[in-house]
Amino acid sequence: MLEDVVLSRVDWLVLQDIIRKYFRVSTIVMFCQCEVFYEGRASSRASEARRLVIIKEDGTLLIHEGVGVEPVNWQPNALITSKVGENHFELVAVRSRPKEVVKVFIKDKPDVIICKLGSGKFSIRGTEEDLINYVAQNPSVIEEGAKLVAREFATPHGRVDVILRSSNDELIIVECKRGVADLDAVHQLIRYVEYYRELGIKVRGVIASPSITPQALKLLQKNSLGYVKLQIT
Amino acid sequence: MLEDVVLSRVDWLVLQDIIRKYFRVSTIVMFCQCEVFYEGRASSRASEARRLVIIKEDGTLLIHEGVGVEPVNWQPNALITSKVGENHFELVAVRSRPKEVVKVFIKDKPDVIICKLGSGKFSIRGTEEDLINYVAQNPSVIEEGAKLVAREFATPHGRVDVILRSSNDELIIVECKRGVADLDAVHQLIRYVEYYRELGIKVRGVIASPSITPQALKLLQKNSLGYVKLQIT
DNA sequence: GCCTAGGTCCCGTAT
DNA sequence: ATACGGGGCCTAGGC
């Protein structure tokens, strides 16, 4: 197995060589005092602090502080170059669409780790997709006697998760949510139902989710729509 | 300044001591071969691969692979414990709300860095908030002669970004989007406009954003609502 | 505490 | 290429 390369207090000229040599080859991790500027869809400045800077093989740049899941700055799929200045080492990460730039001004000699990270197989269960599949394959959980008509069906107002037909030949629009159904979910459902009603089609609407917020439930009832509690484990 | 502590191929018993000693004190970064399991709102498995594992001072756990901005697994604000097994070193990160667990099975002796990360001041411009302020302070960009009535005004259907009054005494509901306005934005606006109409108030609706998707624009026009292209730099 | 809405959201998928 | 919608979204603000 390839060993990590660990370097302490790396000189900026050496760091520049490392980045030239290992960018888009290995992952480069740095611990450094730095100031960060971002300019693009918005613009930001993060004042000097000690941070963790990660340059991944695919050009992803991540800058983390000591707290929080989210990086303070980032850049997906960037072209990263560097410059040695008098008072700082400058890292420039550019992406073109959208046109954005992140600049990291490193103020000290960073500790650097060069390593090869892999990618394992990743599998997940419990997504909205799983819930849609479940309803599509078991329409009776929504209503006894209902049959599948369509799933993930595109309308001008968005994509309907599942469409069923009841035993008395009415359409049932099902909006699935993997987590807590909220106002937005109900609004989505209302749009779909209105769309079919305007086409002169007799339809009912149902939310299927493990839980729902009180406000969402109220709005649902006000619009004579249904709720089916549905947990897939 | 505190120096980073860099340790190569750390024995599991030593690693356990490190985690006990430095958890919620410093940031601990590991490079290791590992398998990751998650169980909670959904459940996932990431097969064995070489990954970057970060334990932040606030109990944040991040597990990164060699590509992508997003971690393959994570846990915010977790309580992290460890166990030394025969064939692996086990990291367990638990959070209570929602009740979720991430388990990392480390298969080799990891390289470990213990470091103290800081937090700088962070400032950002170009958010939706900024756009709302701009419209509130310059109502004429929406319509000549319009005056500010309210901003971020709560209704039962959500929070209206800006409300103006035109020179001929009609209300103008403005929905601001910092990026591309989409179907959802138009739906939001429709809800607000309908709400005021039902109250018997004469009202128009406008989306203000730097750009809008074709579908959203079509829906906007179908509902006789307006669009104002607005970029704040 | 729960709920609501924004985000430099990212990211996959379909058009 | 753009558009559209999900996400274990995360995170901040309100009630």
> What are the sequence ranges of the domains in chain B?
5-115, 128-229
Token output for B220: 């906007």
Give the architecture-level CATH label for domain B128-229.
3-Layer(aba) Sandwich (3.40)
As a whole number, the mean pLDDT across chain B is 94
Contact: B69, A67; criterion CB under 8 Å: no
Convert the pLDDT of each residue in A62-78 to its tens digit. Answer: 999 999 999 999 999 99
- For residues B208 and B177, the answer to whether their CB atoms sit within 8 Å is yes
Distance CA B45, CA B72 (A): 10
pLDDT above 90: percentage of residues in chain B: 85
Give the mean pLDDT of A199-209: 93
Distances in whole angstroms, Cα of residue B25 to Cα of each of A49, B20, B57, B77: 17, 10, 5, 13
Q: Is the pLDDT of residue A172 over 70?
A: yes
Helices and strands counted in chain B (H then E): 4, 17
Q: Which residue has better confidence, A177 or A232?
A: A177
Give the mean pLDDT of A183-209: 90
Give the mean pLDDT of A198-204: 91
pLDDT above 90: percentage of residues in chain A: 85
Q: Is the pLDDT of residue A215 over 90?
A: no
Distances in whole angstroms, Cα of residue B110 to Cα of each of A27, B51, B67: 16, 10, 20
Task: Give B-chain residues touching A156 at CB under 8 angstroms.
Answer: 215, 218-219
pLDDT of residue B184: 87
Contact: B122, A42; criterion CB under 8 Å: no
Give B99's pLDDT tier (boundaries 50, 70, 90).
Answer: very high
Q: Is the pLDDT of residue A208 over 70?
A: yes
- For residues B175 and B230, the answer to whether their CB atoms sit within 8 Å is no
Give B143's pLDDT tier (boundaries 50, 70, 90).
Answer: very high
Instruction: State the smallest CA–CA distance between residue B143 and chain A in angstroms.
Output: 25
pLDDT of residue B212: 93
Q: Is the pLDDT of residue B233 over 80?
A: no
Give the architecture-level CATH label for domain B5-115.
Distorted Sandwich (2.70)
Q: Is the pLDDT of residue B120 over 70?
A: yes
Q: Cα B99 to chain center, whole Å?
A: 20
Which positions in strand D are less than 7 Å from the protein's CB atoms? 2-12, 15
Please report, to the nearest 10 degrees, the dihedral formed by the alpha carbons of residues B16, B20, B21, B27 taken in order. 90
Give B89's pLDDT tier (boundaries 50, 70, 90).
Answer: very high
pLDDT above 70: percentage of residues in chain A: 99
Which positions in strand C are less than 7 Å from the protein's CB atoms? 1-12, 14-15
Contacts A–B by Cβ distance under 8 A: 188
Convert the pLDDT of each residue in B14-62 to its tens digit. Answer: 999 999 999 999 999 999 999 999 999 999 999 999 999 999 999 999 9
Best of B5, B25, B56 to substitute, by most chain A Cβ atoms within 10 angstroms, is B56
- For residues B104 and B36, the answer to whether their CB atoms sit within 8 Å is yes
pLDDT of residue A6: 94
Q: Is the pLDDT of residue B70 over 80?
A: yes
Q: In terms of DSSP bridges, do strands B203-209 and B73-75 run parallel, antiparallel, or are they unpaired?
A: unpaired
